[in-house]
Chains A and B, each alone.
Chain A
Amino acid sequence: MRPFLYERADDVQSALRAAAPDGQASVPPTEAAAQFIAGGTLLLDLMKLDTMRPQMLVDINALERTHGRIESTPQGLRLGALVRMSQAAEHPDILRDYPAVAQSLQQAASAQLRNMASLGGNVLQRTRCQYFRDPSWPSCNKRAPGTGCSALEGVNRKHAVLGVSERCIAEYPGDFGPTLAALGAIVETAGPRGTRSIPFEQLHTDSEMPNVETVLMPGELITGFTVPAGPWTRRSVYLKVRDRQSYAFGLATAAVALDMRDGVVGEARIGLGGVAYRPWRSHEAEDVLRGKPFDEDLADAAARAAFAGARTHGGNAYKIDLGRRTLVRALLQAAKMEG
């Protein structure tokens, strides 16, 4: 690990000041000289691999006092960025009213990692693509723009099939992200240019410029999330299919929320994980479901629509079938729930 300066911030303003970027430099936030650190479970891992090389770490854990709360109101769910994954996974209001949110966090990582990792950091989790993580691979457009993609013809069993390009097929590995995308969450940030709210679906960028992963600016800090309330959030499911039953990244996952009246789908919200370049919301599948009487054939049609644009690269060809079946099963589970 390369040397870095360490500074502990007491509040948002001191964090922003400490991480203020060099005005002349135009770099993606992941390559900024100063990085915020909360749980550190991603950042320190990648610093040990020499994949991330910050020159300064700004410790934001003291912000837990002001940004560590979970609040459930009739309007929606407010999650501070410093809430730990384990806190949200076990919160009674979330378990009752937003089960997909709780399930996506319960099934992520391990008990230790969930105790450490903040929600704000979790959504910025970077891909598990080994060609990205290991800097001894010369070709990786995400790590070294313009060098190509080693995964296209490499070991790509776990790589993405949705939202990919010939520049990058890395999978977004998180579970919480696809759930936030499905539920139409809003991300709140504070940065050098003030505060802003970003629809979660627009936080992550597409694969055309793989080294730029989000619309965040260098020095911009995620301060919290809002998940809008809706009649669909209680009838929601997160289903994760993986190589082993626990403590593994998802090969295909589905976050599903349904509003149903008399067997007819009113509103449908669908997020997909493990199969996509970024936290994925499938508007195509939602459009198939909306306004129709629910049955397994309808679920199957929705799943076909979700993967209509999928592109595979050999090792991950199975992910179209697996992804479809995962979504169908999640829809069937959600439809059976009490509304």
Chain B
Amino acid sequence: MPKQPMDETPGANRRQFLAAGASAAATPLVAATLASETAHAQASSHPDPRQPVPVHLKVNDQDHRLMLDSRTTLLDALRGHMGMTGSKKGCDHGQCGACTVLVGGRRTLSCLTLAVMVREPVTTIEGLAGTDGTLHPMQQAFIDQDAFQCGYCTPGQILSAVACVTEGHAETDDQIREYMSGNLCRCAAYPHIVEAIKQAKTQMRA
């Protein structure tokens, strides 16, 4: 079965949709409520979905203002537009956890997050170490416990592990395994990852 090229958006449908939006904006009630958003209403009177949108991200305490295609995921923004390639693209479908970052302190899959939707500060693997280069206790623990082989899943594992401890979900080995199950490791370094989390937990609480 021939596949449609990606950019062959059903044009008629889009036109219908946009026409409906325009006619809705002409009714007085809607026009009145939109009056406070004049600039926005004007911008959307000729909307082109391919037009870049402004994106403001705070990553590792640094502000980044970008113009990006609305389809850009946080992962692609970090890797492709901000030069931070520590966050890894594994499956790109939210199944492997390699892209895990912290958003507002909560572990989040950056491959299933649109950059334009992010409103809270982002922490990536590049932002974990101290300014003097001292590794985060979790980074050091992964080294000490030999908690990786190929290393591809490691940035996601470490961010997820930091959150696992701060959430209070690292009380027992079983609990660590359960709450780290969203981070796959094809080298199967799992037992050492559990040991690393136990080591770092003590230091993170100190």
Contact = CB atoms under 8 A, between A and B. Distances in A.
Same assembly: yes
B24 A17 contact: yes
A111 interface: yes
Contacts of B114: 6, 37, 40, 44, 57
Contacts of A13: 33
A50 interface: yes
Given A33-B14, A115-B107, A116-B113, A20 B49 contact: no
Given A40-B114, A40-B117, A110 B182 contact: yes
B20 interface: yes
Interface string A245-261: 11100000000000000
A17 B20 CA distance: 11
Nearest to A7: B44
Interface stretch (B79-87, B90-98, B195-203): B90-98
Interface string B141-166: 00000000000000000001001100
Interface residues of A, number: 48
A194 interface: no
Interface string B11-23: 0011011011100
Contact of A48 (B69, B93, B183): B93
A298 interface: no
Nearest to B163: A111
Contacts of A49: 93
Counting chain B residues whose Cβ lies within 8 A of the other chain, the interface size class is 35 or more
A6 B70 contact: yes
Nearest to B96: A110
B71 interface: yes
Interface stretch (B1-9, B58-66, B121-129, B130-138): B1-9
A110 B33 contact: no
Contacts of A289: none
Given A33-B13, A56-B17, A41 B94 contact: yes
Interface of A: 1-8, 13-14, 17, 20-25, 33-34, 37, 39-41, 44-45, 48-50, 53, 55-57, 59, 61, 86, 109-113, 115-116, 135-136, 138, 245-247
27 contacts: A3-B7, A4-B71, A6-B53, A6-B116, A20-B20, A22-B17, A33-B14, A34-B17, A37-B114, A40-B112, A40-B114, A40-B117, A41-B112, A44-B73, A56-B17, A56-B49, A57-B114, A110-B181, A110-B183, A111-B163, A111-B179, A112-B108, A112-B109, A112-B182, A113-B182, A115-B107, A246-B178
